[in-house]
Structure 1
Amino acid sequence: MNSNFDQYISNLNSNKDIYPNELFEFASNSERYELNHPQSLHDSWVTSITIAENRNKIRPFEPSLSIVLNLLGQQHDRDIVLNYFNVKSYEILGSENPFNYGDTFHGDVLTHEISIVDGLFQHVLELRSGSTFKVILSEFSCLEQVYT
């Protein structure tokens, strides 16, 4: 690891009580950032992004926004499903992977970082192609489907 990463983890730990438990566990788990770990987002590929306006049939004018980001793990042995709930803002900038667009449009995940912005939580992913995905949310979960 490097000093920037150590500072990032230190910042997460100093704000541990502010983060929801599942988001903190995900963000502070160094295996999620390692170059060669099956649970790492590094080198994983985007397989789908689903944006949903969730409406209560009784109160349809009070929707909440959720996003599901599905990644094929770096070792191609699992799906890593990132669920963002009560989304307040998102940005997706997609660009063709100039190195191997026939293999994957966006390229693989280079980095990702979770931070606090205006009392909410932000997750930013940067991909090999220069594509970025940024979401500001209040609730989060991560699920993994390992292929056995």
Structure 2
Amino acid sequence: MIDIVDLASTSLKEKEAKVTVDAINIVVEFMNHAASLYDSVAGDATIKPVVYEGTLSKSKLEQMYSAYAASGMMDMENLSDDFDSRVNLLQDVFQINEKKAEGLMMKAMQKQMMEMMKDPKGMEEMMKGMGGMEGLGDMAGLMGGNG
């Protein structure tokens, strides 16, 4: 697991957060498949939780976590049904405590909101992405978008 997390971390250099999100998706898929295999082979055996124990700094792990978790908040229409459990798995694997995870989420959301407020089209796209949230769809119209 260390190798794929380390490889995924190289995506942090890219401008597009989607590259990091896609890389983290691969890590989470690997973890889910490994868990499924473990359950079918050694279902009754108890092991200690799997955590990342590589050489990446805590800040890099937190950056990857933030990018992944924030991606779901900005594109709620396309969220997978198990997105919350995927974020929780990542939080556990990267050993990020609950309070820190909440802070990272708030910071990531504030950053995305600030970037979108600089660009009216970005705000409009965000509102479309949040279309499932009652009342927010009309906010784009109030902010100068076409709604």
- The two structures share one fold, judged by TM-score above 0.5: no
| Higher helix proportion (structure 1 or 2) | 2
| Higher strand proportion (structure 1 or 2) | 1
TM-score by length of 1: 0.22
Larger Rg: 2
